Amino acid sequence: MRVLLVADTHVPKRARELPSEVWGEVDRADVVVHAGDWVDPALLDELEARAARLVGVHGNNDGEELRRRLPEVARTELGGMRWGVVHETGPRVRREERMRAAYPDLDVLVFGHSHIPWDTTAEGLRLLNPGSPTDRRRQPFCTYMTCEVGDGVLGEVVLHRLPRRR
């Protein structure tokens, strides 16, 4: 199963639309995971129409409609593994310990908010933040992640860097 991880798209405030490379990944993915800060419900509508399967949550920049349509925390099974999605995890200091305590039943937790890519493992919990495909903030590149999962195994997680826009 191919999984696309995105967060902090902020469409249309930070970018008018998702980059074409990300839309190509949407078309190839079996599951698209979005860890919040959509900003406009139109992107949710587009992804719901185009993705084979979508798992998403709302973020702190998402308004009433997105909060009504999306949970704060999503839990799902992907490829024999227990996944969770949340927007915020708090400060980076002791993140692994806090998230393991908060989500003892998960194998993978996808999060956003910081726009900073993250990939660590703590006592069996894999923490993944794909960064942002549209707003790099202080990062050198806009980013997203892809991975393969099956038979209870998370394969290689790939952080993709998008070319800088002019």
Domains within the chain, CATH numbers bracketed: 2-162 (3.60.21.10)
The predicted model scores a pTM of: 0.96
Rounded to 5°, the CA angle 76-81-82 comes to 40
Residue-level pLDDT at 26:
98
Residue-level pLDDT at 165:
65
What is the full DSSP assignment across 1-41? Answer: -EEEEE----BTTT-SS--HHHHHHHHH-SEEEE-S--BSH
- For residue range 38-91, what is the model confidence (pLDDT) as tens digits? 999 999 999 999 999 999 999 999 999 999 999 999 999 999 999 999 999 999
Whether the predicted pLDDT of 164 surpasses 90:
no
- For residue range 137-151, what is the model confidence (pLDDT) as tens digits? 889 999 999 999 999
